[in-house]
Amino acid sequence: MKLRSLCTALGISALTLTATAVPTFSQDVGNISGDVTFSCKVSAVDRNGSQAPATVAWIPQRKKYVYIINWKSEGFKQWTPQKRCEVVSGKFQKFQESGQLQYLATGVNNGSSVICAVQSQEELCNNNNQLFTLRSSSDSAQVLDRMGNILVGASSQPIVQSANNRKFLNMSSFLQQAPDMGLEK
């Protein structure tokens, strides 16, 4: 009798554990950025084939490069588009390697509008996470919206989120959805 009760109790316990188990997946969707590398490459930026430096990401899972930023602005006196591309691409790579590149975020640092790399939506932009400064005439929220909307195109999943008057671009979603450049590694 005791054996039957014990078997019944174990069976009910196993059934309860099975029914309440949370499914897990072998690949975390958020980890697409794990092996991503960032660099500065020359890209065509208009219909005429005009070339400009661009920060790009190599996505090994997709075997494709995707655009992050085309650098055309000459609005920074000591920063040519090529120099900005090289420096900012290096920052993207550094933040990627440290695990800090979960979101691109809008913010203000030292009185200037900036785009920064943050791990959470509570984190503020500062000297340690700033990717680049925007021209004084640029609206950081519009810049992030353009990155999310134009580069991703007709995606049905919004990847730009708002919180506390700030905008955030989920980098994992962006890297999964951004159209490729047509370049091979």
Q: What percent of the chain has pLDDT over 90?
A: 33
Q: What percent of the chain has pLDDT over 70?
A: 65
Note if the pTM is more than 0.75. no
Residue 174: predicted pLDDT: 85
Start-to-end CA distance of the chain, whole Å, equals 69
- Helix, strand, coil shares, percent, the chain, to 5: 35, 30, 40
Hey, what are 39's tokens?
Answer: 């660099």
Looking at residue 14, its amino acid is A
For the chain, what are the domain ranges? 37-177
What is the C-alpha to C-alpha distance for residues 134 and 143, in angstroms, rounded to an integer? Answer: 9
Residue 7: predicted pLDDT: 39
58 strand-pairing partners: 37, 65
What is the C-alpha to C-alpha distance for residues 110 and 162, in angstroms, rounded to an integer? Answer: 22
pLDDT tens-digit map of 73-85: 777 778 899 999 9
pLDDT tens-digit map of 13-57: 333 332 333 332 223 334 555 699 999 998 866 667 788 898 999
What is the C-alpha to C-alpha distance for residues 169 and 103, in angstroms, rounded to an integer? Answer: 5
**What is the SS3 assignment for 160?**
strand
